[in-house]
Amino acid sequence: MTSSAGPPRPEPPESQAGAGGPDCFLGVEKSLTGKRWISREADKRQSLALAQRLSVPEIVGRVLAARGVGLEDADVFLRPTLKGLLPDPSRLKGMDTAAERLARAVMDGHGIGIFGDYDVDGATSSALLTRFITAAGGRSATYIPDRLKEGYGPNIKALLRLQEGGATVIVTVDCGTSAHEPLTAAADAGLDVIVVDHHEAEAKLPPATAVINPNRLDDDSGQGQLAAVGVAFLLVVAVNRTLRDAGWYRDRPEPDLTQWLDLVALGTVCDVVPLTGLNRALVTQGLKVMAARNNTGLRALSDVAGLKEPPGTYHAGFLLGPRINAGGRIGESDLGSRLLGTDDIGEATDIAHRLDEFNRERRAIEAAVLDAAMGEAKKAGDDLGPLILVAGEGWHPGVIGIVAGRLAERFNRPACVVALDGKQATGSGRSVSGVDLGAAVIAACQAGVLIKGGGHKMAAGFTVESGRVGELREFLGDRISAHLGDGGIRPRLYLDGAMKPAAATMNLVDDLQQVGPFGSGNPEPRFVIPAARLSYAAVAGENHVRGTLTGEEGGRLAAISFNSLDTPLGQALLKSDGAPLHVAGRLRVNTWQGHSKAQLLIDDAAPAW
């Protein structure tokens, strides 16, 4: 059986409606984290054929087959290149108009304003455009709004400030698709605005010179999985091509666009978009560029974060990203874009240290808000409904998105956290696979329940009158319930198979890395150690549990479960008292004092009896 060439099939939703579905793996109907275990389907003949064709171990062939990779597209999947996957940017609606306008501004010496969002996607997009415009001989100025004072998206005061600074055209990155009022006012002021975004769009778009968004309803480019920085990179390719065709580079060097793929990879990973298709090439090649440490700001931040190995998606998403985000969450919103855009070593080092300190503060604030939000959520008892929406006075708006993500993970359902501040409140939500939270929030806007709001399937943000929080909870709950049907949310954990501890070798870890980079849309392989016993278990750090797993036929495997100490999973690991557990997780390399060995990152477990 050979599948046709194309992107791998999407990861099945881990939270699905209804009670039907495939048989549970190892008989686990409800694990310690409340999930039903399901084996990822993989055709045995296809698995073997892939292994033979690619000269990889059979287990790698199985993992590929389970992700829908066929013989014809396997080589592209394992070795994704921009040459093979980069589309003609003109396929995106509005791209040619935007490229012509920006190229004209560069050649005429006119100022270009960049209005970016305050998260990693916005910071990388802003820095990418800044670096390209400078390299191409143009002039630009960047504005990142203050999260607390200005909120999300363009505002007319900021746009006019860019105009007063000499900008004749402004590019909004990672925002702008729903900014009807500010962009109308900008047009009235004589400003040309180009929107570069990826968030879900309504049928009516704001008045702008161009709206480049692969998720606008009339766009048929097939690039809806891109983060904003991916869209920005396609814009850079288009503008560069327009400048080249106009003869702009006859007397000046043409910039090498691949030098900025580290920024594209960082923004793509941190925005948790599917690592399929073009994104897979952008991240694969971008991580190689990141490893060269040529970006002054990223090099300084890597040193502060203690990154001493070639960067992967984990390092981008959990070491670098949170520090860049910390500026926008509780510090100064423009620190991230400034760090990524500077070539001054002193400035980069100073900003990196400031971001690291802000990240420490962010963790403390987050812990306090999470504790309060968890208390509010638990008041509902077992009757949580299809959505968790909690609100509190004094909760820091900069951490409510992270807290919403923690609640969604803990309770296996969409979660919204609302920071009350007088008559108006700011909210942020995170969803689970299978529930489009962004669409629900947009519907609430259209119904007049929200002041403003938007997002995508897995995340959303909004502003609401404090007195209407209850109405919003009911509206979102009803909409999600209607989507799910009578079965409600049924969390699932998908597994790639079972193995003995002795099989979890360093060679196997290396073989599995060929299927990376891992992330949304290309999940890291997850295996089960059946009927494992913990010969050792102890608390590690403040909230982790580590131990040693032994199998039914011997063999030992080091394991660790992060942030689980106060959960049923963590307590079961600590108190197993020799009872066998089916333990599910992902294999990683653990290096300590110069010695490396395989380790299981525990995601879940279930009693084996």
Q: What are the extents of the domains in the chain? A: 15-41+493-607, 89-355, 380-487
Residue 10 has pLDDT above 90, yes or no: no
What does DSSP say about strands 554-561 and 595-607: parallel, antiparallel, or unpaired?
A: parallel
Q: Would the pTM of this model clear 0.75, i.e. be above it?
A: yes
Tens-place pLDDT, residues 429-461 = 999 888 999 999 999 999 999 999 988 888 999
pLDDT score at 479: 94
Residue 17 has pLDDT above 80, yes or no: no
pLDDT score at 488: 66
Where b means 16+ CB within 10 Å and e means fewer, 66-94 reads bbbbbbebbebbbebebeebeeebeebbb
Tens-place pLDDT, residues 558-576 = 999 998 998 999 999 999 9
pLDDT score at 552: 81
Residue 15 has pLDDT above 50, yes or no: no
Q: How far is CA 147 from the centre of its chain?
A: 19
Tens-place pLDDT, residues 31-61 = 999 899 999 989 999 999 999 998 888 889 9
pLDDT score at 553: 81
Which residue has better confidence, 163 or 13?
A: 163
Mean pLDDT along residues 391-407 = 95
Residue 191 has pLDDT above 60, yes or no: yes
Mean pLDDT along residues 386-401 = 95
Tens-place pLDDT, residues 250-295 = 999 999 999 999 999 999 999 989 999 999 999 999 999 999 999 9
pLDDT score at 20: 44
Which residue has better confidence, 551 or 289?
A: 289
CATH class given for the domain over 380-487? alpha beta
Mean pLDDT along residues 519-532 = 93
Distance CA 537, CA 590 (A): 17
Secondary-structure breakdown of the chain: helix, strand, coil percentages, each rounded to the nearest 5:
45, 20, 35
Tens-place pLDDT, residues 331-370 = 899 999 999 999 999 999 999 999 999 999 999 999 999 9
Residue 382 has pLDDT above 50, yes or no: yes
CATH architecture for residues 89-355: Alpha-Beta Complex (3.90)
pLDDT score at 2: 31
Residue 16 has pLDDT above 50, yes or no: no
Mean pLDDT along residues 129-134 = 98
Locate 141 and state its tokens. Answer: 């100025």
326: enclosing H helix or E strand: helix 321-330
CATH topology of domain 15-41+493-607: OB fold (Dihydrolipoamide Acetyltransferase, E2P) (2.40.50)
Residue 14 has pLDDT above 60, yes or no: no
Closest CA to 133 of 272, 277, 232: 232
Where b means 16+ CB within 10 Å and e means fewer, 338-357 reads bbbbbeeeeebbebbebbbe
Peptide bond into 501 cis (omega under 30): no
Contact predicate 235/99, CB 8 Å: yes
Tens-place pLDDT, residues 218-255 = 999 999 999 999 999 999 999 999 999 999 999 999 99
Locate 356 and state its tokens. Answer: 């690291």
Tens-place pLDDT, residues 467-522 = 999 999 999 999 999 887 766 677 889 999 999 999 999 999 999 998 999 988 89
Tens-place pLDDT, residues 571-604 = 999 999 989 999 999 999 988 877 889 999 999 9
Mean pLDDT along residues 48-76 = 91
Sign of CA dihedral 319, 321, 323, 324: positive
Residue 18 has pLDDT above 50, yes or no: no
Mean pLDDT along residues 375-399 = 90
Mean pLDDT along residues 135-141 = 98
